[in-house]
Structure formats: C-alpha cells, structure tokens
Structure 1
Amino acid sequence: MTGFLTRRRFLIGSAVGVGAVGLSGCDDVVQSEDVQKVLNAAEGLTMRAQRLIVSPQKLAREFTEADLSPVFRSNGTSNPDNEAYARLSEDGFLNWRLKIDGLVDRPMELSLADLKKLPSRTQITRHDCVEGWSAIGKWTGVPLGQLLQSVGLKPEARYAVFYCADELEQTLDGSGRYYESIDLIDAFHPQTILAYGMNGKDLDIAHGAPLRLRVERHLGYKHAKYLMRIEIKDTFAGLWGGKGGFWEDRGYEWYAGI
C-alpha cells in the first residue's frame, strides 16, 4: 500500500501544480501544513465547480453486456482478515446484518435477504481506480437514497459514513479499519447503490461480499466494500483522522468526483 499512497500523493500534488508548491518529495509536500491548506482549498473548488457545471442527477455513462471486462481486478482488500467476517462468510452471510443509524428517525438492521426483497437497480458502469486501471462491471443492488428515505433523515443530516469489515492497518484505536463517506447529494444520486450482485451473480468476497457501495461518479476508493454499518452524521469530528475516509485521513482528497 505504501507505493499506492505515494503515487496518490504525487497525483494530488500535481493537481495543484508542481511549480506552485515546489515539489521536493511527495510525502514532504502532503505533510506540509501550508500545502495541505492549498490542497484542501483546491478540493473544495473542484467539488463546487463540478456541482455547478454537472447536474446532481446526471448519470455516469452506462454500457452494454458486450462491454463487460473479461477481468475485473479486486482493489484494496481481497478477503478481510478477521474472525468475525470469516464466521459470517462461512454460512453465506445468513447472520450478517447491515446497521443503519445515526441522525435517523428509525434506526434499523437489514439482512441480505431483506435487501434483496427491496426494489433494485442494475447498471453497467466503468470503475476507475486511482492506480490507473479501469474495468467495466454489471452491478445490482438497492438504491441508497431509497434506504435513507425509509429510515428518515433528521434535519441536520449531511453525510453517510460507511464502516467496513476490512482492516488495512493493525491499530489499537480502530483507525486501520476501512471506512468512507459521501454527502447526501451523492447518496441520493440514482446510480448510488448498495450492490449485492456483480455480473449476474452474488457479489464474491474479492469484490466486497456481501455488500459494497457503488457511487459511480467517483474514483474507486470511494466504493467501500464489505459494508457493515451506515451512520448518518453532520460532521466528521470524532472519526479517527477527521477527514471522512481511511485514505483521506492519509492524504487523499475526500471529494473524488470524475
């Protein structure tokens, strides 16, 4: 992962402009407080510009089955290394539950069978990884906005935070466990789904079973796998590094719109 992060940091720095920040080393640049302020400002500008130019409901391009990639790489973790997840996977996730709580009126827990009974959406889209590769896959799942409507959002709700089963770093405080977040604009986008199916089959472990996020207008690291809980929040305060995601806490941009 170190090489992955270093490449990502270089890309972030390059987006601001090599001359503007005087690159002498990618890690040094990202760790500089002054440069970090510039990067954060640039990210906010990017998000506002994209939201201004592109309709919040505009769809990412969809493809046909003839376009499906023969190989769809597994990004990040390919099998969470923890006993709780192993027990869940052994019985086909019969005992797995997705917890939805936080700033909601009706917290709930849903089984995989519960989710499959709900109205679904199937879409064939391109996954763009920050490492530089892309692949086209067919995803089936529940529109996230539909679920959020069913639990009822409190007026102060602003973000959906996704907690996952995979742990990328061994840490005592839990900060090594993967998590991500999106705002409610992206949460209610028609193509933002909680996918339990891929290419006409149940989602496999390598690609995030039993449930993963598909937020099609964002880079791949936003598409959290192995979902366990969704918490609705009004701030990132109290979330480990406070940046809204595992990689964001380590220097990535929170808004990864494409």
Structure 2
Amino acid sequence: MSIGRRAFLLAGAGLLGGCDRLSDSASFTAMLRQAQFLSRWAQNHVTGAGALAQEFGEDEVSGEFRSNGTSMPDSAIYRGLVANGFHDWLLQVDGAVRQPLQLNLAQLKMLPPRTQVTRHDCVEGWSVIGKWTGVQLARVLNLAGPLPRARFVVFHCADPMDGSDQTAPLSTYYESIDLAEAYHPQTILAYGLNDAPLPVANGAPLRLRVERQLGYKQAKYLMRIELVDRLDGIRGGKGGYWEDLGYEWYAGI
C-alpha cells in the first residue's frame, strides 16, 4: 500500500473511531467512494491486473494470527455446526451459474490445494502474517459454471451483525468482489491457518482470502457464494456490510 493511501485510511479510522462509525460523516464517505476508483486504476495500470500480493517465508509467520471483529458468531445455527465439528456444514454456490452446488468441507479438501504466506492488513492500521491453505475460488466457480451475465461474487456469512440472530439472514455479514478478483490465483477459500485447521476465531470452517485487498474484504464463516450481475439490489446496494455503512467497495492495498 502506498504511504498516501495508508495515511488516508488510517486518518479516517482514527477520526471516526475505527470500523463502526464511518457512515457518520457524509464528506468522508464521499471521499472513500472517489478514492476506490483511483486505487483500482492505480493497481491495474501500475502493477497490472494480474499482479500478485507479496508472499513471505514460513519463518516470517506471526506467532499468533489476531482475530478481529467476531470471534464466535452469536448464532444458534453456527454454534450447532461448531458442536458437531462442522460435519453438517455445507457451502452453497448458486445464483448466475449453470450448476448450483452444495459442497462439504471434505469435498473442498479433495480439490487441489494452494498454500500461501501473506500479510493481512487491517484498515485500523495493524498487520499480521499468516500461512493459509485452501482451494482457489476459481476452481469452485468453474465447477458451478458462471453464466455470461455473472459479474460479481457475493459471500454470505454466518456472522450476525447488530445483535440479530442468523434467523434474520439480511442482518448477517456479507462481502463481494468482481470476477477478475475472484479468478486471481491468490484468491482462495481457506480452511487452514498456520498448518492447522482454521480456528473458529479466524472464520472456521471456511473464509475468503483476497490477498490484494484490506482485511474487511476477507469474509469469515462462509455459508453461501452467490454469483450476480449487479450489486445495487442486494442489501444496502454497496456490495458489503461495511460498504453499506461507508467503506470502499474496492479496498486495494
């Protein structure tokens, strides 16, 4: 991330108290919306659309990968999945696809794995390096077969927000990326962290890793992947839980 961009993001986080009150400032959210287009243009034209995020050696992995935000979803459904070791958990893949899917953890682990040691950068200003193992999102999407109209991938999570249970799905955490980011080789659905199964505090059984973007894009507790042609009809229309409250949709590092 450039010094100017990091300073811009950290200044906003400091002024507005971190990740919970960005929507309080109309001028700040307007600046964020403008900045995301400049950031996307810069990444594509300076580093290239297919540029890789920096990867590190295993000796650089942090001793503990910090859990930010929710560490245990306040959901009866999710707690039941934890109790039986995620035996009954299924990832639903649907929307603008030729073949809707339901995949359990064992089926995901049968697909060719990818391991990468990368740095997680939070908008709040801290970073941590972790070793992630999972399946490339592209492999899962190819199994489902995106339709020509598909442009975005939406990730629906088990993490209730604002004190609501998962019985109210429109209150759960969600995120989205475009197909170009979805097919990037470092965009993975991670089920392992630091040579161990993904801990609950870090998003078990499956979380998204979009290594070229900031931490709030790395959706945890994945339950459903939906392919769509547009985002403005989903929830608040901005493409993610925090985006609906003022964050940038494109959070490139």
TM-score with structure 2 setting the length:
0.88
8 Å contact 2:198–2:205 — kept in the other structure? yes
Per the alignment, residue 125 of structure 1 pairs with 118
In structure 1, how many angstroms separate the alpha carbons of the residues matched to 2:126 and 2:96?
Answer: 36
In structure 2, how many angstroms separate the alpha carbons of the residues matched to 1:171 and 1:226?
Answer: 16
Give, as a single letter, the amino acid of the residue that structure 1 aligns with 2:248: E
In structure 2, how many angstroms separate the alpha carbons of the residues matched to 1:81 and 1:38?
Answer: 33
Is 1:67 aligned to 2:66, yes or no? no
Residue 44 of structure 1: CA displacement? 1.6
Residue 51 of structure 1: CA displacement? 1.4
Q: Across the two proteins, how many residue pairs are aligned to each other?
A: 239
8 Å contact 1:121–1:141 — kept in the other structure? yes
Q: 1:84 to 1:137 in 2, by over 3 A?
A: same
Is 1:210 aligned to 2:211, yes or no? no
Give, as a single letter, the amino acid of the residue that structure 1 aligns with 2:120: H
My pick for the range that moved more, 76-85 or 235-244, is 235-244
Residue 176 of structure 1: CA displacement? 3.0
- Of the three residues 127, 137, 141, the one matched with 2:130 is 137
| Aligned structure 1 segments of 4 or more residues deviating by more than 4 angstroms | 7-10, 25-28, 35-38, 171-175
Give, as a single letter, the amino acid of the residue that structure 1 aligns with 2:82: S
Q: 1:155 to 1:65 in 2, by over 3 A?
A: same
Q: What SS does structure 2 have at the residue aligned with 1:113?
A: helix
8 Å contact 2:32–2:246 — kept in the other structure? no
Deviation per CA, 1:113-159: give whole Å up to 9, x if none: 00011101000111011111111100000000111111111111111
My pick for the range that moved more, 166-175 or 188-197, is 166-175
Give, as a single letter, the amino acid of the residue that structure 2 aligns with 1:104: V
Is 1:253 aligned to 2:248, yes or no? yes
Q: What SS does structure 2 have at the residue aligned with 1:50?
A: helix
Is 1:169 aligned to 2:162, yes or no? yes
My pick for the range that moved more, 236-245 or 132-141, is 236-245
TM-score with structure 1 setting the length:
0.86
How do 1:170-209 and structure 2 match up within 5 A?
Answer: 170=163, 174-209=169-204
In structure 1, how many angstroms separate the alpha carbons of the residues matched to 2:148 and 2:35?
Answer: 29
Residue 255 of structure 1: CA displacement? 0.5
Per the alignment, residue 41 of structure 2 pairs with 48
Segments of 5+ residues of structure 1 without an aligned counterpart are 1-6, 15-24
Is 1:157 aligned to 2:150, yes or no? yes
Residue 39 of structure 1: CA displacement? 3.7
Q: What SS does structure 2 have at the residue aligned with 1:146?
A: helix
Q: What SS does structure 2 have at the residue aligned with 1:81?
A: coil
Q: 1:13 to 1:154 in 2, by over 3 A?
A: farther
CA RMSD of aligned residues (A): 2.3
Residue 164 of structure 1: CA displacement? 0.4
Residue 42 of structure 1: CA displacement? 2.8
Give, as a single letter, the amino acid of the residue that structure 2 aligns with 1:74: S
Q: What SS does structure 2 have at the residue aligned with 1:244?
A: coil
Q: 1:9 to 1:136 in 2, by over 3 A?
A: closer
In structure 2, how many angstroms separate the alpha carbons of the residues matched to 1:89 and 1:171?
Answer: 19
How do 1:24-35 and structure 2 match up within 5 A?
Answer: 30-31=25-26
Deviation per CA, 1:49-100: give whole Å up to 9, x if none: 2212222221111111110101211011000011100111111101000000
Q: What SS does structure 2 have at the residue aligned with 1:162?
A: strand
Per the alignment, residue 220 of structure 2 pairs with 225
- Point out the structure with max Rg over C-alpha: 1
Q: What SS does structure 2 have at the residue aligned with 1:197?
A: strand
In structure 2, how many angstroms separate the alpha carbons of the residues matched to 1:143 and 1:75?
Answer: 23
Q: 1:70 to 1:9 in 2, by over 3 A?
A: closer
Q: 1:127 to 1:39 in 2, by over 3 A?
A: closer
Residue 242 of structure 1: CA displacement? 0.5
Residue 13 of structure 1: CA displacement? 11
Per the alignment, residue 3 of structure 2 pairs with none
8 Å contact 2:204–2:220 — kept in the other structure? yes
Give, as a single letter, the amino acid of the residue that structure 1 aligns with 2:156: Y
